[in-house]
Chains A and B, each alone.
Chain A
Amino acid sequence: MSELSQNNKQCCCQSESPNTGFELIADNKQWIDKYISTPIGKIPRIKTVITLSDKIENWKRRWGIGRVTHIIPPGLYAVGAPTDKSPVFVSANYKMSFDCLRSDLDGLDGWILVLDTKGINVWCAAGKGTFGTDELVNRIKVSGLEQVVSHRKLIVPQLGATGVSAFRVKEMSGFRVVYGPVRSADIKRFLENRMRATPEMRRVTFNIGERVVLIPMEFASYLKKLLFVLAIMFILSGLGRDGYSIERLSANGTQNVLLFVTAYLIAVIGVPVFLPLLPGRSFSVKGIWAGLLSIATAGLVFNFYPQLTPGLIASVSWIFIIIAVSSFIGMNFTGASTYTSLSGVLKEMKYAVPCQISIAILGAVLWIVGLFI
């Protein structure tokens, strides 16, 4: 979900998480600067500067490249030159969230309590309960935090409130939870403001920048399914009334693949970019508008190259296929958005999914029929 790049300093604790099947391994800890002495022994002090290799790792994560994702070992870390009176920031052990936080803490003195969220960002983990009351209370105990700081106050990212119950943490550990801002970039202003967040710091946004950074992940998330469909479509393209023809395969097959890839790219890029402008509240409806954009694009190309225009049945089949696929991609963007509710998505899916399936089947049947006419 919403997270901006390191460069513009607007990144927040919330971000898209590693996909299924990733292997979690402990990071090589090159972000540890040195060890400082505390009443409970030596504690690693972290660097607040993000290195090139951190950036490369995070960039790969965005594109879903590689099977390995780095996690931060849970526990207590120091930043700057903290004392027993310095603030304690609670974080998830997702590398990208952690990198955001430590770069935004540059120049501050404090402690970071990293929870074990299985390599998942704060908001997602809070929704699952791994960034939650029990883990926080447990981590306070096993980290020895009580002996390191003399106060009893924790700054928890606001989005962690989905999993953390502040009053229960107080009952169970004696620590008072103060909910910090949504974005770690606001932490300094939050502290300067005597730990009070402005209404704007409390609001989750979903602006153009926050949506654009999600495009690589959207693109990568369907890649396997896309290649599967393309392969089948390409192979079938050689079929015709007179049997199988390699010549037809190379001409029609390439054109079909190009059409599908174009529609895919327009949906995967168009939905995030134009989200607020696409008519309709339902994301499946917003997706249809991206599909219409694809159809218009294809129509424009065929207008200039009439010799490439598919037959009538093939053209109609493409309209159905593109609408169904775009609507589905749009609907799935609900998971990446920051404002859709479970009840709303269930309501939307109740009518959207049957429609998408019917239209997709209709399109596929027409497309196959079109091969033989």
Chain B
Amino acid sequence: MQALKYLPEVVTLELDRSKCEGCQTCVIVCPHAVFGIENKRAVILHRDLCMECGACALNCQSEAISVRSGVGCAAGILNGILRGTESSCECSPDS
């Protein structure tokens, strides 16, 4: 299936290949197959497919990955602006 693509050239995902130890965890956790392995180190294959969920950075033991993670949810961002808080999805029963 052709992957659905969102806006190009916007994501904040960064990979420092020099720090990568080749554990492949980023390849495993990414739900959009953004990463691949080349020469025993991670490489970003499909940057624009990244949804900034942050799973890769959180699970990268060598801290080679950085991303401003968050939920791409317009309602949550609007709620945050209206309430003057961090963006929060309506899906929370405690919000």
Contact = CB atoms under 8 A, between A and B. Distances in A.
Given A158-B29, A161-B29, A343-B68, A24 B51 contact: no
Interface residues of B, number: 47
Interface string A322-344: 00000000011011011111111
A167 B59 contact: yes
Contact of A281 (B5, B33, B75, B94): B5
A163 B90 CA distance: 18
A117 to B, nearest CB: 10
A157 to B, nearest CB: 11
B7 A281 contact: yes
Interface in A29-83: 69
Contact of B92 (A17, A205, A347): A17
A21 B76 contact: no
B50 interface: yes
Interface in B49-69: 49-55, 58-59, 61, 68-69
B93 A334 contact: no
B73 interface: yes
Contacts of B75: 332, 335
B25 A118 contact: no
B55 to A, nearest CB: 4
A348 B68 CA distance: 17
Interface stretch (A119-127, A135-143, A262-270): A119-127
A246 B8 CA distance: 53
Nearest to A280: B7
Given A343-B12, A344-B7, A349-B74, A158 B28 contact: yes
Contacts of B59: 161, 164-167
Contact of B74 (A16, A165, A331): A331
A164 B52 CA distance: 15
A199 interface: yes
Nearest to A71: B93
A309 interface: no
A221 interface: yes
A118 B93 contact: yes
Contacts of A197: 28
A159 B33 CA distance: 13
Contacts of A205: 1
A237 B3 CA distance: 46
Interface in A92-141: 118-120, 124, 126-128
Contact of A282 (B2, B7, B91): B7
A334 B74 contact: yes
A310 B28 CA distance: 57
Contact of A339 (B49, B70, B77): B49
Interface string B1-22: 1111111101110000000000
Contacts of A345: 72-74, 77
A162 interface: yes
Contacts of B28: 158, 179, 197, 202
A209 interface: no
Contacts of A331: 74
Interface of B: 1-8, 10-12, 25, 28-33, 49-55, 58-59, 61, 68-78, 87, 89-95
6 contacts: A127-B70, A203-B32, A283-B74, A341-B7, A346-B77, A349-B77
